[in-house]
Amino acid sequence: MADKNLIEMLEEAAVKFQGRPYLCDKSDSGWESICFEQALDLTEKLASGLLNRGIGKEDKAVILSEGRSSWVLSEIALFRVGAISVPLSLKLMIQEIPFRVNHSEAKVIFFSHITWEKIKEIKDQLQGNILYICLDSSPELLNKIASEGALNRGKNLITWQELLEEGRSSLSQNRIELEQRCRAIALDDVVNVCYTSGTTGNPKGIMLTHRNYYSNIMGAVGTVYIPENWRTLVILPIDHSFAHTVALYIALERAISLYFVDARDGASSILRNIPINLKEVNPHFLLTVPALTGNFMKKMKAGVEAKGGLIASIFRKGLVGGMAIHGDGYHKGGLWKRLRYGFIYGLAKMLIFPKLRQAFGSSIKFCIGGGALLDVKQQQFFNTIGVPVYQGYGLTEASPIISANGPGRYKFGTSGSLLPNLELKIMKDQDTAASPGEKGEIVIRGGNVMKGYLKNPQATDKALVDGWLFTGDLGYMDEDDFLMVVGREKALLISGDGEKYSPEEIEEAITNCSDLIDQCMLWCDHRLYTSALLVLDQQKAKLLKDLSPEEQLQKVEEQLNLFRKDPSFKDKFPSKWLPGTFLILAEPFTEQNQMINSTMKMVRFKISQVYQQSIDYMYSDEGKKSDNPKNRQALEGLFK
């Protein structure tokens, strides 16, 4: 079967899935949908409007907005004229935006009422003549923008609706030109330049093509089967390639209806509206990241434990029983475990687990996890309550999926099976392959591998060698042919003798086993022992207030080591990499302080820069003991 470009995919979807909702937004009157046929028509009119405005082949257009139908339609319209979309995260700090706009040489910026304030702050730092297109049409907002931004209404500031009307009125004269541009689309034409914040360095502009997305979509549907006509609530930022592949464009293949979280009241309303929209939309599946599912898990556990008594007891025992029966998902528990735990697990399945699932709606079948390593405890928990989270692995340079677990084949603690249309090698270095089961750098080849980094041939040549993408991530294939990812090469712990180890699984184990510890970053850079920077849950920490300082710090240390008692982690981690001391921080890692990126991963190089003195302190005579003045001071601050 021949590869297709994304416009051809939409054209086929408009014929095959007539009348089926594709893009859905919340309005004052309820949910409003745009079907596949309407999407095709609207993108043609928008493309005509872009053509009138002089936007053409390889021109770049930034989209900085919350997820919404007009976001998707704008991007596809750009593809129709041969232009390139530069999707930016809603969560970018103001100072991060100018580089991306200027480096990409963007000629257009699509923005919304949520992002205008950021655009206003950086507008004077932007280069070239830029057309600003507001996705909202409120007269009050437009007058405000025109007065504050010194923009000229109708010239370099128009609304999305005005662009649509311009295109509608000129479509008859532009139709032949638009058809020629669509026919001229090559599979290797760039459609996105994705700037990732990363966790280990400065962003690069990753060039992804029609072929990249189509290849990844077809590989993904062959691994995680999604029936036609399902619904999903899009809760992840759609600027990321994960949401592009597994939501925006896989929908064209499987007739998926995409509902965008209600953000009409601003960015702060998005998280607040997720639980409400979940009940309204009643999705069949969700895309998520470990930080979100971890939050769901903690709230579910706390809610049941608050009921106490028999309910809490059945819940705890039912979880233990279900995990024993399901094993690691690939190797199930034997007859003895089914006999031993069957009754209590069945009781919990009947009385408690269905109520927990209601948080996702009544139609939920599974979640697809990406963004970072998903702790095995989360995988076991959600599978046991009946909403499995299928962990995958990928990176933007691979469009992004490389491997995934799915309903047909899964194993907890792994990143799943390699996509069927990919090749994989595990390399000790650029020229030496690792032995079977041996850890090394994950290297892949396939149609989903990026074209390269924009204006950065040196980085491109380093990452791409003879068509093989060197991911910078470490892993190995286990005995059952599942990919085990153990972390990023640049984020490794390094002992004094040069031995290396990935900290991510240990960090996930610590935070998932402790209600007191919210965030944890391990550190060891050629030091004698591993240390930990900790962020505590403020409400849980206040429960320690009446204890003596010595008892308080003893409780924190107990919580830090709680994972050691969990059977899932018994003897899993070499002792030399477990934290020997810790330091409590006064401020959490957030997107606002740039220590968490838009996919909710810790930005390690940033954290280590900001807290370098704290890290050094943990290796001093005073700081190597957890009962030290800085920790006492941090706890006192939390109590206030």
Average pLDDT over residues 274-288: 96
Per-residue pLDDT at 275 exceeds 70: yes
For residue 200, name the pLDDT band (cuts at 50, 70, 90). Answer: very low
The CATH superfamily of 285-362+365-490 is: ANL, N-terminal domain (3.40.50.12780)
Strand, helix or coil for residue 542: helix
Residue 458 pLDDT grade (very low, low, confident, very high; cuts 50, 70, 90)? very high
Question: 126 and 88 in contact (C-beta within 8 Å)?
Answer: no
514-541 average pLDDT score: 90
CA distances from 89 to 289, 320, 359, 472, 598 (A): 16, 39, 27, 23, 7
b/e code 503-533 from CB counts within 10 Å (16+ = b): bbbbbbbbbbbbbbbbbbbbbbeebebbbbb
Task: Report the CATH number of the 492-639 domain.
Answer: 3.30.300.30
pTM: 0.83
Place of tokens 């931004």: 149
**Domains 6-185 and 285-362+365-490 fall in the same CATH topology:** yes
Tell me the pLDDT of the chain averaged across its residues. Answer: 92
Domain-by-domain residue ranges, the chain?
6-185, 285-362+365-490, 492-639
pLDDT band at 199 (very low <50, low <70, confident <90, very high): very low
Convert the pLDDT of each residue in 38-71 to its tens digit. 999 999 999 999 999 999 999 999 999 999 999 9
Cβ atoms of 364 and 231 within 8 Å: the answer is: no
pLDDT at residue 372, rounded to an integer? 63
**What's the CATH code, domain 6-185?**
3.40.50.12780
- Look up tokens 């809603």; give the residue: 90
